Structure 1
């Protein structure tokens, strides 16, 4: 055995590496120089930590109020970083590596050609959606949609409008804004020739026309080819006047278009819907492919799901129907005033209007009992990525309450003096303070928060409570040894053992998450950074804030005070 660098038996001087002593029955001689160096590093690190935490524990126990104030101040200052806290709602920012070519291309397109059209979907389900009660419920929601307003904007102001394929009434064929009217004497002008070819009379361009369709193409069916031919032949007059006077309707894909009236939902369509029977609905679905809103052919059977047929191949029922609405974004307002929602470019009015749409379309109070709906307003997609911070607050609160009961049961003893209710509260509070400090620091450095981060508070709770158990168990073990020590020395000895244990586990966890932050996925990188900083912050709070409160409790306990609080 070595003493002061000399062998106790022979008195010969030995090296420091040999002074470490045997680690197995074979003795120190069986260790190589490298093994001895590794063992030296191991003992050196552990010994240094023991010396540091012995000193640190004694300082905290002797100055608990100063330690508590320092922790509160650090939490406050770190929490100021939460001013920059934000949740990332852009899916591309969560999974596509920064500075990648694909990410740069997406950002360029988004900045230069932002998406203006927004699509909203509703699926209505019932045993049979082709019944009067279901059709009336769908129609009522469609009518209520027109009543929505947001800052003097209605659904008709927000929707994508398309022309209705009918000629406007009371149309003046001449357009005073058109100046490049061709000379009818020109050999290339085929206005009269075209009419003579079709057997139609020539007209003066100054005629006021109420029935332009009958005048131009009597006894002929109106179709797109004919309209295209007339738009080519009769441009700019009378085509421009017709085009500018054409009625517009909000583009949609809705089964109730079958019962519209000449391009709108009016009193005629109200009465028609109210008098519908199931036979009327089935006959219309099977025989009518004309939208009475847009006055054009449309395959309404494609909107149906779970279709049932009879032996003749006719539809006799359907289990679901898909409805689509289309609205637009004011891109100019987004460029001037910024976006209303992180992750997508949308102006404030459109964002608020979609919020009202969600409230309306998710209201099922007037649905028949067998009818349900599934709403997908485009705003909801990005809201599923953001706003997650407090959505699990009820589960988090319940988890913390259960852990508090468990911690109090483990820390307290079955007497009135050594109840540690408030010490358990302080342990939970130390975890919360560490989270505030860590989240503030991460936010200050620009790291975003996402839906995946919501698991971190539960992870931190388990790690933080484990540190509490290690510290209190080390103190109780020292107390049971009966060694007479002052309060400061006792906590110094306690932290000399517990501090090393919690430090090794904490630094292992922190290192593991820092390694994980080396990923190219931005969402995972941010998650690992938040977890690593949070674990470190809670560790500092447990070995300082919790230890200070514990020393105050033990001080009162040493005088046999009724220590229900600590």
Structure 2
């Protein structure tokens, strides 16, 4: 109804009485628009379905609870057999499934299996280029050689480079010789580091800046001092020695954490560190889950019931938490059956489902509390049916929007995000089903218990008839506050203006923050902030901000003999490229051809062309190459970069690698620009025969699509949310107003994320999608409830706030309580979850309970045709004070639907009816004055 002066208004209330609108059209057939017909049909179907479900549950509560429990058990049976967990540190979780880099990674791991492990230390001092610090470093190096696990020590586990174990540090310039290093002077050190161009141990080109941090240069451009340096040990990682290698790494970690008295700070990291620390952080913080559940149980016990032995609802609170637990089991089982893995993001699922589930429970219990005095006298099944009639439709809106938001998120290309969204969607589906069956059944049982005067905590004890609950417990503080203070003040015109201005100001401020929200993602964020591994990575970022990431150009099984031009071009263009650190390209092909050009070995010169200094044929090319990397000093280091094949006694190569380092990248955009640039460079020279690959490419590839994926998911989720609101709220104007709350909340959250130092990454992507769903919860309940009341706009808003405001506040606060302990977590996933959810709750409640009521009071649409409730609190209280019953006429002849601003709608009683007293209402004209 839109309040038009000539609109024909006919509707039937719950008691079967017809309310007549315009007297001149009381007999005309009601004319409805297409949208109104759809609206009426949808609401009627939903409310009828939930009413019937409520009657069934009220009649057979125990039977429904048992059926829900059995179904849940059957679904959860599969979980132990299908549940899989992604490996700690699995970096492919964050990479788009269609990314080329995944194919490159797969090829590299198959041809060059990752059997190399490492441990590394960063040494920090005022100046590490001093005899004292270098002596201390040698002492740590020497101690590492004696670290023994079982029968293995470093010499038996190390990666060999020629005849030496591979340990990269500045000490290799002096070949780790104790006598030489301990005798160094300051001048000796400065001369060496500024003149070294190759390693005397491994015979590769050497750039000291790759192992120095915080360099200070003198007036002549030479390195004078440095704040940090690092040392890296390389060990074998084959399956046969993996356990021993991991044990040795732990010994090295312990050695590094002990430090040295002559070095200010020592930071250590190893291959095992990420899995140990990241997994441990999340598993350790699960203790917060238990504490959060206890807090929520206490809170909902207080809010759902009353402070007396009879009306307290501790059992119902436990049933609510059981519903959340059952939903967690269902989502784990169904998602695992669909082939999705449990990942590092999934640890927040229990908190998420707890917060959402409790919201729905407050709405259901609130609907039961708000039944009229006459309805409270109905049989139990009728009361449950009427309570579920309105609350069921309301939680349908919020649940469907959450579900659709997560299913939209599941279409992402990022596996970790996709998996989490599937788990969450199944969890919310389970919550919705169990809340409207198991929890409502528990509520019916609790009502029966209270009616039988059984104790709330000990249901075997029956209170005597003379027992009366204390007066304090009978007071409804929150509804009274809303009725007496909050709603009347909010609906004052000056307050409405202040609310709208404040909303606009918040929007302006936060849209600037949202636009400036940075995109950034670092794997170290998954480490606890107080861990040694996090400290190492932080020190690495600080002192080695040059960010020189090791990479390589890998070439497949091609005819290398005939590809001389391409291989030479690769070296030349890589050396000159801005995507490669100058002097770090280490090409086996270049070293090999240099050796061929300079060797005087007669056996070699006999097999090469005298002019080109190149092998005469393919066979000689591979034979001489094998000789070069197995016997020549300058070629030994390349043995790890070449994979020889031997078919029919003819050598060949199945793969090769040219090593280099990427330069620093100052931000995410520059990172994926480097990635695109190096991929284009290599493809332009060698086509599909060769490709660049590095571990850092996985991160860059992830960052490359995160923003696009976020925008796509948000846009699709927003469209779905609006459509669902439109279909289920069934009024375009109310749906638009609810959607404006969602949009404003989302912008506010994004803006304050920027102010709080958060960025766009895979973790916040999940939570921003979640924000859309949760933001709907607070406003959709208000919008839907508003449509179920007859009366003027202000009256309907007040009725809505009194009925649903309390449950919405309680639901929001319980959501906050569910995750508040995460604020002190050391896990990035948990702390970020707290920050974003905190913002969602604050701004969601503001827009749902402040902004939306003001908007509805000013431009809200008319109620549903099926609306049979009316706000009468204020006038009823005045009449009761005067001892007058002015509702006799309204009870027999309910008033028509109307608008606050419309003054010409008249209530016309039958000619033979004489009311005991005639009263003028604020929105209608009395018969005497008509």
Give the shorter-chain TM-score range. Answer: 0.5 to 0.7
Asked if residue 514 in structure 1 is aligned to residue 407 in structure 2, the reply is yes
Residue of structure 2 equivalent to 1:73: 73
Tell me the distance in 2 between the aligned counterparts of 1:109 and 1:361. Answer: 28
Separation (CA, whole Å) in 2 of partners of 1:434 and 1:482: 32
What is the aligned partner in structure 2 of residue 11 from structure 1? none
What CA deviation, in whole Å up to 9, does each residue of 1:1-43 have, x standing for no partner?
A: xxxxxxxxxxxxxxxxxxx9999999975534x3354235313
Q: How much has 1:473 moved relative to structure 2? A: 1.1
Q: Would you say how many aligned residue pairs link Structure 1 and Structure 2?
A: 435
Q: Corresponding residue for 1:478?
A: 371
Name the SS of the counterpart of 2:122 in structure 1: strand
Question: For residue 318 of structure 1, what is the aligned residue in structure 2?
Answer: 226
1:361 aligns with 2:253: yes
The answer as to 2:342 corresponding to 1:444 is no
**Aligned counterpart in structure 1 of residue 189 of structure 2, from 254, 261, 285:** 285
Q: Which whole-Å CA distance do the structure 1 matches of 2:391 and 2:401 have between them? A: 16
User: Residue 139 of structure 1: CA displacement?
Assistant: 3.3
Distance in 1, Cα, partners of 2:168 & 2:42: 72
User: How many angstroms does 1:500 deviate by?
Assistant: 2.6
Q: Quickly say closer, same or farther: Cα 1:125–1:400, change in 2 above 3 A.
A: farther
Match of 1:173 in 2: none
Q: Which residue is equivalent to 2:109?
A: 110
- The answer to whether residue 289 in structure 2 is matched with residue 396 in structure 1 is yes
Deviation at residue 102 of structure 1 after TM alignment: 5.3
Deviations 1:209-260 (A, max 9, x none): xxxxxxxxxxxxxxxxxxxxxxxxxxxxxxxxxxxxxxx2211212344666
**In 2, Cα distance between the equivalents of 1:448 and 1:361?**
31
Cα distance in structure 2, aligned partners of 1:531 and 1:453: 9
Task: Report the CA distance shift for 1:57/1:327 in structure 2 as closer, same or farther (over 3 A).
Answer: same
Distance (whole Å) between structure 2 residues aligned to residue 521 and residue 443 of structure 1? 18
Q: How big is each residue's C-alpha offset from its partner over 1:384-407, in whole Å with a ceiling of 9 and x where there is no partner? A: 776775254144344434433432
Q: Is 1:154 equivalent to 2:150 in the alignment?
A: no
Contact residue 138 and residue 176 of structure 2 kept, 8 A: no
Superposition TM-score, scaled by structure 1 size: 0.65
Q: What secondary structure is seen at the aligned counterpart in 2 of 1:530?
A: helix
Partners of 1:352 and 1:419 in 2: CA distance = 59
Contact preservation (8 Å) 2:58, 2:441: no
**1:502 lines up with 2:395 in the alignment:** yes
- Quote how far apart the aligned CAs of 1:297 are: 9.0
Q: Confirm or deny: 8 A CA contact 1:90 1:382 kept in the other structure.
A: no
Q: Say yes or no: does 1:49 pair with 2:49.
A: yes
Aligned pair partner of 1:554 in 434, 443, 447? 447
**Structure 1 residues 35, 293: CA separation in 2 closer, same or farther (over 3 Å shift)?**
closer
How much does 1:413 deviate? 1.6
The residue that corresponds to 1:461 in the other structure is 354
Q: Does the 8 A contact of 1:354 with 1:379 survive in 2?
A: yes
Question: What secondary structure is seen at the aligned counterpart in 2 of 1:35?
Answer: helix
CA distances 1:307-353 after superposition (whole Å, capped 9, x unpaired): 345668776642111222223332xxxxxxxxxxxxxxxx3633652
- Mapped partners of 1:375, 1:397: distance in 2: 33
Report the secondary structure of 1:414's partner residue. Answer: coil
Matched, 1:97 2:93: no
The answer to whether the 8 A contact 2:119-2:252 is kept is no
Distance in 2 separating the partners of 1:519 and 1:21: 52
**Contact 1:137 1:366 (C-alpha < 8 Å) held by counterparts:** no
Write the distance in 1 (CA, Å) between the matches of 2:100 and 2:185. Answer: 53
Aligned with 1:478: secondary structure? coil
The structure with the largest alpha-carbon Rg is: 1
Aligned match of 2:311? 418
CA distance in 2, matches of 1:153, 1:110: 26
Q: Which residue of 2 aligns with 1:145?
A: 144
SS of residue paired to 1:390:
helix
Tell me if the contact between 1:148 and 1:356 (Cα under 8 Å) persists in the aligned partners. Answer: yes
TM-score, normalised on structure 2?
0.41
Q: Is the 8 A contact 2:310 2:454 kept in 1?
A: yes
Do the aligned partners of residues 427 and 131 (structure 1) sit closer, same or farther apart at CA in structure 2, a change above 3 Å counting?
farther
Assess, with a 3 A threshold, how the Cα gap between structure 1 residues 84 and 404 changes in structure 2: closer, same or farther: same
Asked if 1:545 is matched to 2:438, the reply is: yes
Q: 1:249 is matched with which residue: 164, 170, 173? A: 164
| Paired residues of 2:152 and 2:244 also in contact (CA < 8 A) | no
Q: Where is the helix percentage greater, Structure 1 or Structure 2?
A: 2
Kept in 2: contact 1:89–1:450 (CA 8 A): no
Q: What is the deviation of 1:162?
A: 1.9
**Unaligned stretches of 5+ residues in structure 2:** 1-17, 460-930
Please, which of 528, 536, 545 is the counterpart of residue 429 of structure 2?
536
User: 1:61, CA displacement in angstroms?
Assistant: 1.9
* 1:526 Cα deviation from its structure 2 partner: 1.8
Aligned-pair CA distance for 1:87? 4.8
Shift of 1:509: 1.6
Aligned-partner Cα distance in 2 for 1:539–1:66: 17
- Taking the aligned partners of 1:160 and 1:22, their CA distance within structure 2 comes to 92
Tell me if 1:327 matches 2:235.
yes
Partners of 2:346 and 2:355 lie apart in 1 by 16
The 3 A distance-change label for structure 1 pair 414 and 352 is farther
The higher relative CO (CA closer than 8 Å, separation ≥ 6) is in 1
Task: Note if contact 1:21-1:28 (Cα within 8 Å) is conserved in structure 2.
Answer: no
CA contact (8 A) 1:285 1:315 kept: no
Give 1:140 deviation, angstroms.
4.0
CA distance in 1, matches of 2:202, 2:330: 59
8 Å Cα contact 1:68-1:548 kept in structure 2: no
Separation in structure 2 between the aligned mates of residue 261 and residue 518 of structure 1, nearest angstrom = 54
State how far apart, in whole Å, the 2-side matches of 1:23 and 1:319 are.
85
Matches within 5 A, 1:181-220: none
Any idea what the Cα deviations from partners look like across 1:162-210, whole Å, max 9, x if unmatched? 23xxxxxxxxxxxxxxxxxxxxxxxxxxxxxxxxxxxxxxxxxxxxxxx
* CA RMSD, 1 decimal: 4.0
Partner Cα separation in structure 2 for residue 369 and residue 470 of structure 1: 65
Deviation at 1:110, TM superposition (A): 2.8
Query: Could you tell me whether the CA contact under 8 Å between 1:474 and 1:498 is conserved in 2?
Result: yes
